[in-house]
Amino acid sequence: MRKVSPESNGWHALRGKSAIVFLLYFSCFISLSALIYGQGDGQTDIDYTISPEEASRLLSTYIQYPSVTGNEKPAGEFLSKLCSDRGLNVRVFTDEDDSYNFAASLYPLRSGKPNIILLNHIDVVSEADLSNWREVPF
């Protein structure tokens, strides 16, 4: 049986593209938030800046959580705490042993104000047979 490495399936290229897309979306979210809801509107000041090193560290920490379907709670709690610590409003919709869903927004969801909401798909498919991997996927 031929071993399939992540590299032979283009995994490294996909992983790199996924990281870039994630950072791009995150940057757009922060930039648009600052532009649309800048200071002077009664909102608590939020630091909208993040260094590339900090973004890389946070993304690296996040993708190390083995968030296979049914085990996404630790990754979800990490993200919701990150959002809350950064001054975003966090609303948890599902908090169970095997599931965790939340939304992060500039204003509370029921505020009636125009809002930007950050949602993320936390769970991933199983890594399958670990012997097919050169490195542990999480």
User: For residue 78, what pLDDT is reported?
Assistant: 92
Rg of the chain taking only CA atoms, in angstroms: 17
The domain spans of the chain are: 7-126
Q: What is the pLDDT along the chain (138 residues), one digit of tens a residue?
A: 444 444 444 444 445 555 555 555 555 444 444 444 443 344 556 666 788 888 889 888 988 888 888 888 999 999 999 989 888 899 998 888 888 888 888 888 888 888 887 777 777 777 788 888 888 776
Q: Quick one: which of 52, 101, 103 has its CA closest to 75?
A: 101
Q: What phi, psi does 62 have (nearest 5°)?
A: -60, -45
**Cα angle 57, 97, 75; round to 5:** 10
